[in-house]
Structure 1
């Protein structure tokens, strides 16, 4: 897999630092206002090459159930072939950076949100089976890469692919229930992860669940 290349921050601010991480450059928080950041320049992105010790901290917000709001950290603890294990196997990413496992939940073969090489205009469909406890659901995902733009997060400003996702899901394993989800993701090649996501899950005859996930910190081993 090719190395990740970050947008050159040198012209943005003297305090903006580029960190060498697994052969890729990662952005730190700029010290200039978003209005001064140069326009994003699209590149064809290759899949990330993760290294042990890379760390991402995210903040999760659930509008329907605020008690679930949380800030959590994921650290690459092991590389196993084309998979990266996070937090000693608590979560697993596949070769494209898609989730295979997160906590007690799993996706077969993965959640399928990302595909590489990536460029604006790419579209694909995928399917997965999701398991958590006794619950099983089957999802049919439609994905479109609709743009390449700058995005501001609590971790700083990143050049990112804007990705629209629509999923139709139904209960599996003899269960009942169905619904759909709509999600907008921003994938930043500089850190090899989705750095911002807005998600709405609408089960039939139920209130919609709206969630927001955002990167708040990124680091790599020195």
Structure 2
């Protein structure tokens, strides 16, 4: 009987020790996550350097189409914005001080403008913008943005500690019928100075299969 009681005590102690170890591991993970978030948030605007470059892979999950785009900083302006050279094609766009890409000569309402610094956990702001669709029609977007948390995101360029921003709203053509709900999630990595992954879904009047696109970083080279 004493042997059985001793065995039960050993099992209970072993189980308690396992629980303690698991709890310690959880606390350590939670502490690490909290430390990572405290390092990244709040986050101020990035500083670009001539020669900074980013290569993205864009893909359309419905059609299976994809393309690779490289953006290289050719000049940095006094307000902190930068000019980007696009390859292939040799086109040019502007990178705002808040890491948003807009067409040359466009105002701040050009897509995308999902980032608004300083980035703080729980921050809410509105993003109104317009974009030109594949058929040449102008599409208007209005979304509510929320800075959610810091998490590790894996991309073709590697894994990054990134700040997740969630967008929910609606899109509509500038003229004619159509439009519907949209959601978009972005992961901004301060070490890269840019969004490293972006996922978009939009539905026509909330019906049918959603148009789904994704863009992720495939390669980058930036200066401090």
- Which of the five TM-score ranges fits, normalised by the shorter chain? 0.7 to 0.9
Q: 1:182 to 1:48 in 2, by over 3 A?
A: same
Take 1:197 and 1:51, find their aligned partners in 2: how far apart are those partners?
23
Between Structure 1 and Structure 2, which shows a larger proportion of helix residues? 2
Q: Give TM-score, length-normalised by structure 1.
A: 0.73
Give the conservation status (yes or no) of the 8 Å contact 2:84–2:93: yes
Match of 1:64 among 58, 62, 65: 62
> Alpha carbon RMSD of aligned pairs, Å?
2.5
Give the conservation status (yes or no) of the 8 Å contact 1:64–1:209: yes
Structure 2 counterpart of 1:207? 209
Take 2:192 and 2:180, find their aligned partners in 1: how far apart are those partners?
32
Runs of 4+ in 1 over 6 A off after TM superposition: none
Between Structure 1 and Structure 2, which shows a larger proportion of strand residues? 1
SS at match of 1:76: strand
Greater RCO, 1 or 2 (C-alpha within 8 Å, sep 6+) = 1
1:46 and 2:48 aligned: no
Q: CA deviation at 1:76?
A: 0.7
Consecutive unaligned residues in structure 1, runs of 5 or more: 1-34
Structure 2 counterpart of 1:90? 92
SS at match of 1:41: helix
Q: CA deviation at 1:181?
A: 1.5
Take 1:147 and 1:216, find their aligned partners in 2: how far apart are those partners?
23
Give the conservation status (yes or no) of the 8 Å contact 2:141–2:172: yes
Q: 1:135 to 1:161 in 2, by over 3 A?
A: same
Q: CA deviation at 1:180?
A: 2.2
1:74 and 2:71 aligned: yes
Take 2:91 and 2:78, find their aligned partners in 1: how far apart are those partners?
14
Q: CA deviation at 1:90?
A: 1.8
Take 2:136 and 2:58, find their aligned partners in 1: how far apart are those partners?
24
Structure 2 counterpart of 1:17? none
Q: CA deviation at 1:125?
A: 1.0
1:147 and 2:154 aligned: no
Q: CA deviation at 1:107?
A: 6.7
The superposition leaves residues 6-42 of structure 1 with CA deviations (integer Å, 9 ceiling, x where unpaired) of: xxxxxxxxxxxxxxxxxxxxxxxxxxxxx9xx64333
SS at match of 2:37: coil
Consecutive unaligned residues in structure 2, runs of 5 or more: 1-28
The superposition leaves residues 159-185 of structure 1 with CA deviations (integer Å, 9 ceiling, x where unpaired) of: 11111111311111x333212221111
Take 1:81 and 1:65, find their aligned partners in 2: how far apart are those partners?
41
Structure 1 counterpart of 2:3? none
Structure having the higher Rg: 2
- Worse-superposed segment, 201-210 or 44-53: 201-210
